[in-house]
Structure 1
Amino acid sequence: MSIQDKISALMARPGQDPVAKDDVPWWLKFSGRAAGTVGGFLAMALGVSVCISFSAVNIIGGIWQILAGFVLICCEAPCCCLFIDHVQRLADFIDSRPYWNRAAVYVLMSLPPLIFAFGISSFFGSGFIFLTGALYGMMALGKKASAEEMRQAANAENNPVQAGGMRSNLVAHAQPISFSGAPVFDSNV
């Protein structure tokens, strides 16, 4: 058992399976959590600075950014919000969802502050929320194939006669209908 496995076993939640169910690298999981935690605090702090301009549109964008940062903190680092009753249930619900759901929610949450009040504060605050969504999107894509599997897929693609290739036809060397050309009409008839 490696040191990382021992630390993960110590940090596991009660009732959690000791074996991970996905093939996401540990460093990508931790970077998603870290970007979410840092990005949430940064978004809340910079959201306050967006609200200072006293323009109605900027106040709406700043409040949205503050709320988006707070939701991100509640989902990614529920230990920072122990004073709120149902944060742990929200975090457990979010953890049970697929990675692409989290990515979509975080990316969509980051867009309104940029639309309402575009500035350097909203760019960096919402940018970290967007970064967290992008990291979860990368997790949703899954593990990269091995070099041998990629070689086999490339060989199958380059050999159209082989059954199951990406460019295989029913008849080898048959041209699609779109390449046959238009009919030629003779006007002398």
Structure 2
Amino acid sequence: MSFAQKLTGLVAGPTDAPQDDTPWYLRYGARGLGIFGAFFAILFGFWNCFGVITINFSSVLSGILQILVGILVMSIEAPMCCMFIDYAQKFAQVVETRPHWNRAAGYCVAAIPPVILEPGLASIFGCGLIFATGILYGMMSLGKKATLEQMRQAAVATSSDNKNGSMRPGNNLVTNAQPLSYTIPPPIHNPHGSNSPF
């Protein structure tokens, strides 16, 4: 495979076909935020590694983890940026075939340890963007919202079931629930008279 063919394959992305009927703006927005967040995670990871000057071990470890998380997200979201790593394209293709919630969970979990080790602005901003990318992928895993007509039909079906008494919202939790009542507490007997506070 020539260098030009490899380059065009990388620019095209791992897969051109979307996994589901996710809106294009959410799909490309999540990918763009992931690339942007990975770039800043790598940049601020190097910034945290300057903690070696002040002999701050947790800052250095946080920076190294942040750089690794940034490279991982960059290789998934933009494999053309990692074209000289042979397995980056294959890894991105494997991740693209997985459900969105896998990527969401992975990004959210991977973004937490650098912030715990060094809760500075560099860690919070760099890993926060990756965490936000995970949230967007989590929203994509929830699926598309129903159309207005489908929601109306579901509401009509629920209201007709309520008239029949067969199914009420919340009735499936406890079948023998009794209505709540309020009882007045008995009066307190005061042996010292009504004027005494004791």
TM-score normalized by the length of structure 2: 0.74
| CA-based RMSD | 2.6
- What percentage of aligned pairs have identical amino acids? 42
Q: Is the 8 A contact 1:113 1:126 kept in 2?
A: yes
Uncovered stretches (5+) of structure 1, i.e. residues with no partner = 1-10, 170-174, 182-189
Counterparts in 2 of 1:124 and 1:17: CA distance versus 1, 3 Å: closer
Tell me the number of residue pairs that the alignment of Structure 1 and Structure 2 aligns: 165
Please point out which of 30, 47, 50 is paired with 2:48. 50
Give the partner amino acid of 1:47: G
The superposition leaves residues 138-176 of structure 1 with CA deviations (integer Å, 9 ceiling, x where unpaired) of: 11011111112223333444552455664567xxxxx73
**Is 1:81 aligned to residue 79 of structure 2?**
no
Give the partner amino acid of 2:31: R
Q: Is the 8 A contact 2:38 2:71 kept in 1?
A: yes
Q: Is the 8 A contact 1:36 1:132 kept in 2?
A: yes
**Is 1:160 aligned to residue 158 of structure 2?**
no
d(CA) in 2 for partners of 1:13, 1:74: 11
Counterparts in 2 of 1:135 and 1:180: CA distance versus 1, 3 Å: closer
TM-score normalized by the length of structure 1: 0.77
d(CA) in 2 for partners of 1:64, 1:108: 12
Give the partner amino acid of 1:53: G
d(CA) in 2 for partners of 1:156, 1:179: 26
d(CA) in 1 for partners of 2:112, 2:70: 12
- Cross-structure match for 2:35: 37
Q: Is the 8 A contact 2:35 2:77 kept in 1?
A: yes
Q: Is the 8 A contact 1:160 1:168 kept in 2?
A: no
SS in 1 for 2:21: coil
Matched ranges for 1:15-34 at <5 A? 20-34=18-32
d(CA) in 2 for partners of 1:105, 1:67: 13
d(CA) in 1 for partners of 2:131, 2:44: 15
TM-fit CA distance, 1:83:
0.6
Give the partner amino acid of 1:40: A
- Cross-structure match for 1:64: 65
- Cross-structure match for 1:102: 103
Q: Is the 8 A contact 2:13 2:79 kept in 1?
A: no
d(CA) in 1 for partners of 2:19, 2:114: 35
Q: Is the 8 A contact 1:160 1:167 kept in 2?
A: no
SS in 2 for 1:28: helix
Uncovered stretches (5+) of structure 2, i.e. residues with no partner = 1-10, 182-198
d(CA) in 2 for partners of 1:62, 1:49: 7
